[in-house]
Structure 1
Amino acid sequence: MEALIDTTNLKSIITFIHIAGLAMGVGGAWILDAMLLKDLKNQVLTSERYDVIQFVSNIVISGLCLLWLSGLAFVAFYYFYQPEYLGNEKVWAKMAIVFILSLNGFLVHTYVLPELKRAIGSALFDVLPHKKITPIIAVGVISFISWMFPIVLGVSKSLNFSTPAWQIISFYLAILTTTLGFTHIIFHRYIMLEKKPQPISFE
């Protein structure tokens, strides 16, 4: 029995939960982003499609919960068995990003999904003004970048015990801000053009 609960097996269990949370979160978030992007391009949002979006968003939230569970379990494990790992600031940077993911998930369920539900039966551009579509796109961008970053940090072993948390978070915020700005420009220059009426030709 003791062999089943030794530190190696315990850490493996926590790691498995952590990877499962990432897989659910990343897969669900990127599928959700793709669906929303497709719906923004003047496709009518059906009730069936909304149900799928809501289901996928619940998978993302479940993955987020697993990330918190495994992340706190890692902190407890390090505290009791490997306290030196608490000095690895990459751990704290990842938790800060997961906190941002949690806030973004809250916005998905309190703002994005209700707005989509009100748009059922119509194209989003027909019922949602620009000031409401822009935050929806921003939430999607934050979700995409923020779910990708924990994976990047996980495979970047060179950052262990060598890079301060503030540098990692600053780089993350720089990437996020740049992507948000670029997406905003693309949205205005290309997608919003589809709402403009075409000039009448008398030829």
Structure 2
Amino acid sequence: MELFRLSIVYLHLIACCVAIGLVLTSDIAMVKQLIKGDTAEKQETEQLNSLKKTVTLALVALWITGIAIVWLDVSVKGFAAYFSNPKMQAKLTIVALLTLNGFVLHSAVMPAMEKAGSLLQMAFNQRMLAIFAGAVSAVSWFYAAMLGVGRPLAWKYSIVQLLAAYPALIVTGFIAMVTLTVWSKYRSDLDFSQFAEAHSRTMK
């Protein structure tokens, strides 16, 4: 039984690592694009679709392996004892929010980004939603991973204490990305206006 549980935990860990790696590389690529301020650089549709499919599969794998782990542990420890653990409650909360946020990303944000071509070219409301959903996604994946490996946290802290940093990190990430986006768009618009002015002078 222990070997079987270990194999499931291993698959659970791999799925988490794959998702975190993809989210991290995608976020880094987007930050680089914002720093460059290149609104003409479009997100590749195939890349977005591949990212969407892979992260979705990883999330499904996390749910399946997670449910299997919970079932095995509950069969040994009992339902009440297992789910009364604040760390487990916090982890389930994060995973539920991550799943809901993933639905928003895949149904609203990514289609809008594909249509616009890039984050900077999206409408204001769509861009704010994309930034917020992206912040929730990045923070949630890393937070869930931290809770997953944080055995010393079990029973030492309440669920409120365990999740205290979660909204703060999301707000911090959101503000940072909004600031970077505003700066990038301002610089891009300024460069375009300077180019247009220089072009008009040349035409004269």
Instruction: Establish whether TM, by shorter chain, passes 0.5.
Output: yes
Give the distance between the partners of 1:166 and 1:76, measured in 2 at CA: 25
Match of 2:189 among 152, 177, 196: 196
Could you tell me which amino acid in structure 2 is paired with residue 169 of structure 1? L
| Residue segments in structure 1 that go unaligned for 5+ positions in a row | 1-6
Which letter does structure 2 place at the counterpart of 1:110?
S
Question: Which consecutive aligned stretches of 4+ in structure 1 deviate over 4 angstroms post-superposition?
Answer: 198-202
Supply the AA of the counterpart residue of 1:175.
L
* Residue number in structure 2 paired with 1:55: 50
Q: Distance in 2 between matches of 1:39 and 1:107?
A: 23
CA distance in 1, matches of 2:28, 2:172: 20
Question: 1:15·1:70 contact (CA, 8 Å) conserved in 2?
Answer: yes
Q: Is the CA contact (8 Å cut-off) linking 1:89 and 1:160 kept in structure 2?
A: yes
Moved more, 96-105 or 84-93: 84-93
Once the two structures are superposed, the pairs formed by residues 8-157 of structure 1 within 5 Å of their partners are 8-40=2-34, 41-42=37-38, 43-45=40-42, 49-83=44-78, 84-120=81-117, 124-125=119-120, 127-157=121-151
User: In the TM superposition, what whole-angstrom CA distance separates every residue of 1:38-73 from its partner, at most 9, and x where no partner exists?
Assistant: 455324216xx2201210221111111111112222
Residues 97, 150 of structure 1: 8 Å contact kept: yes
Aligned AA (1:31): T
CA distance in 2: counterparts of 1:110 and 1:149, whole angstroms? 23
| Structure 1 residues 124 and 89: alpha-carbon distance in aligned structure 2, compared to 1, 3 A threshold | closer
Q: Deviations over 1:80-116 (max 9, x none)?
A: 1123443322112111111111111111111122112
TM-score (norm 2): 0.81
CA drift of 1:35 comes to 3.3
In the alignment, the residues of structure 2 paired with residue 175 and residue 39 of structure 1 have an alpha-carbon distance, to the nearest angstrom, of: 22
Q: Which runs of 5+ in 2 are unaligned?
A: none
How far did residue 142 of structure 1 move? 1.3
Structure 2 CA distance, aligned partners of 1:33 and 1:21?
18
Q: TM-score of the superposition, structure 1-length normalised?
A: 0.81
Report if the CA contact (8 A) 2:11-2:65 is conserved. Answer: yes
Alpha-carbon shift at residue 183 of structure 1 (Å): 2.8
Rounded Cα–Cα distance in structure 2 between residues aligned with 1:117 and 1:171: 32
Q: Is the 8 A contact 2:109 2:126 kept in 1?
A: no
Map Cα deviations across residues 153-185 of structure 1 (whole Å, 9 max, x no partner): 233232111111222123212222232233323
| Cα contact 1:93–1:168 (8 A) shared by 2 | yes
